[in-house]
Homo-oligomer: A and B are copies of this chain.
Amino acid sequence: MIRLNASDPAFAHAFDELVGARREADADVSRDVRTIISAVRDDGDAAVQAFTSKFDGHDLDETGWRIERAELTAALDGLDSELRKALELARDRIAAFHEKQKPTDSETTDDVGIRLGSRWRPVASAGVYVPGGRAAYPSSVLMNALPAKVAGVPRLVMVTPTPKGEVNPLVLAAAELAGVDEVWRIGGAQAVAALAYGTKRIEPVDVVTGPGNAWVAEAKRQLYGVVGIDMVAGPSEIVVVADAKNDPEWIAADLLSQSEHDPTSQSILFADDAAFADAVADAVDRQIGTLSTKDVARTSWDANGAIILVPELAAACPLVDRLAPEHLELAVDDPDQLFTLVHHAGSVFLGRHTPEAVGDYVAGPNHVLPTGRRARFASGLSVLDYMKRTSFLSLDRAGLAEIGPAAVALATAEGLPAHAKSVALRLESK
């Protein structure tokens, strides 16, 4: 953990370094991924089976390629009732929030009688990647699958690796609750390639979303254009802006809720009170020891944590914009006032009773958010990621007479005579 003070002469340089630090692995997986993708493209199921055998340690012909509906319902039925209620609450709230994102079609007829508009439609099929093993999160299933369902995607596919054949019942239960149509026991770059190109067994999809390791992320990047993807995700982060009226224990837990995700995660506190900052630092150190995730949390906090003292919290806002964090907590009495000063953040948690974790699970907004300063230009996952817009226009003879001559002039100036002719022929006709 580093401590910075915005009043120090050396602060600007130290903050530049914090902003510029690359926490993403530089491992050059791109060649491996290219090989896997091209094998799946050429050899289809056989390649998928071979890579699954190699990386996940099971033979798909023995374990089965698909996880059938009966297994999903059994997983849901077998769920502890408190967990089931929690998942159902999450599903209902996430679905309700995303319903509001549904775009509306538009159509207008302008003053020269030209009809113009936009029409939105869901993609025909979407694939959701769900990691296996340690990072198999039912919440991720809901956050990826529900926006697709709300969008109206008719065919929703899930792929998830089952290392040594083992499935995660929570993930299956979440898939059933979210209304996933097909589940395949495959993962890694080979699963993304199978979804993008299709194989004999697996029909291709139009969009692939969902978190994954470096291989999965690189496969999505390489296949972007063959299919739509959600985004290139990196290590996640939280920025907490907190005054001294907060309970240091609460703020420490909020910081650690990010640190415990991954050694590359980042947690940053902006405070305007040195004693409060010290108290939070102490609380973090104390709480880490109590966590089953202490090794990860300790590594992340030590390597990437930061506490930054600012003369007043408003002064933190331009610094927050430089970081463009995935998650931003504004733990103050009047968080809306600070929120107007921040331009770049994936999701903002307003006030003292809105810990980031509540948004990870049940509040409603999506927890798939832009990381690594990408909130400068990217947005969280939404219904729009599973839809596309078709523009349309309709001119009659009079409308074309109004604007056609300008099109002819521009086409001619651009050296495109057939463009000009296609308009001119209609203008010349009686």
Contact = CB atoms under 8 A, between A and B. Distances in A.
Interface stretch (A50-58, A68-76, A344-352): A344-352
Contact of A403 (B358, B378, B392): B358
Given A249-B425, A363-B395, A375-B390, A418 B354 contact: no
B392 A358 contact: no
Contacts of A420: 357
Contacts of A138: 410, 413-414
Interface in A358-377: 358-366, 369-370, 372, 374-377
By DSSP majority rule, is chain A's interface helix, strand, loop, or mixed? mixed
Interface stretch (A10-18, A78-86, A159-167): A78-86
A46 interface: no
A90 interface: yes
Contacts of A358: 393, 395, 400, 403-404, 407, 423
Nearest to A349: B393
Interface stretch (A1-9, A112-120, A274-282): A112-120
Contact of A354 (B86, B228, B393): B393
Interface in A381-430: 382, 384, 388-397, 399-400, 403-407, 409-411, 413-423, 425-426, 429
A359 B375 CA distance: 33
Contacts of A375: 388, 390
A335 interface: yes
Contact of A396 (B227, B351, B365): B351
A331 to B, nearest CB: 11
B394 A350 contact: yes
7 contacts: A96-B110, A124-B343, A134-B415, A224-B232, A358-B403, A361-B407, A363-B393
